[in-house]
Amino acid sequence: MSAPASVIWQKNPALAWREIDDETIIISPNDSVMHELNDTGSFLWKNIDGRKSAAELAELLVENYEVTPDIALSDTEALLQEMCSRKLVVTVRATGGVSP
């Protein structure tokens, strides 16, 4: 089940990552798994800061890429869900805590 578009997201603080050649390489030290994000994914990753929702991230995508708001939100939510399933991002409660 996908999270509401208003939910706030942040990067999993246990990860290491680096942007190189417009791509982002993410390392999960606990299981030594490497993940990669393309240009658009890297853009979203950079803007996942513990203060923005999927809807706000999608707005940034519309401002910087040639994409309609509907598709931007749909793609953003899909990417966040995918990253969430890989434990790359976590949601933030309204109180500021990280949701398990």
Partner 1 sequence: MSAPLANSGRGPRQQFELSIGCVPLRLEMSDAHLFDAATARYAAFTGAGARPVTIALNAGAVPEGPPSDFDYEFEGAALHVFSGGIRFDGVRHQYALDSLLRVLLTWKLLGHCGFLLHAATVIRNGKAYLFTGRSGAGKSTVASLSPEGSVLTDEISLLRRENGVWRAYGTPFWGEFRAAGSNISSPVAGIFRLQQAAENQVTALRPVAILRALLPNVLFFSAEAEPNRRLLEILSQAATEISGYNLAFRENCAFWEVLPA
SS3 of residue 21 by DSSP: coil
For residue 62, the cross-strand partners are none
Number of residues that bind partner 1 (CB under 8 A): 15
List the one residue from 2, 4, 14, 69 that touches partner 1 (CB under 8 A).
Answer: 14
DSSP code for 88: S
Determine the residue type at 25: I
List the one residue from 2, 4, 6, 23 that touches partner 1 (CB under 8 A).
Answer: 23
Site string for partner 1, 25-54 (x = CB under 8 A): x-x-xx---x-x------------------
Closest CA to 54 of 4, 5, 1, 3: 5
CB of 63 to partner 1, least distance (A): 26
Stretch that binds partner 1, among 19-27, 45-53, 54-62, 66-74 (CB under 8 A): 19-27
| CB closer to partner 1, 48 vs 57 | 48
* Tokens encoding 42: 């890297």
CA gap 54, 56 in Å, rounded? 5
